[in-house]
Amino acid sequence: MSLLDAAKTARENAYAPYSNFKVGAALRCASGHVYAGCNVENVAYPEGTCAEAGAIAAMVVAGDHKVVEAVVIADAPLPVTPCGGCRQKLAEFADADATIRMMTMGGESLTMTMAELLPGAFGTEHMENT
């Protein structure tokens, strides 16, 4: 299954009863494995958790820690970028040159490197004095 197909399949399983805004994400790791996630809303936290966070959690549970490529897809007029929190989470597991592709269900696409998506990401180099 392609990375795009994995993200589309995950999107279909999103639990979004409040916003009806379904998002799917899929990550390819250096190992070659693909992990997918979708957004999950609930009444106490209607904005829910993000698709990328779900995919990252599945990746870590499986023992992978190196993202080389990611796809995020939603039914929106413009490609949907990961939220700020998910950008930082992706930066934790992806090198600056990792490819992040954001897509719409209609086929619009925006591709950026991790460094372009989150310039100045907080990293371990910021903690060298501790």
Q: Which residues are catalytic?
A: 52
Q: Which two tokens stand for residue 92?
A: 């934790």
Pairing of strands 94-104, 67-74: parallel
Determine the Cα–Cα distance for residues 46 and 66; give it in Å rounded to an integer: 30
CA-closest candidate to residue 75, choices 26, 36, 111, 24? 24
- C-alpha 86: how far from its chain's center? 6
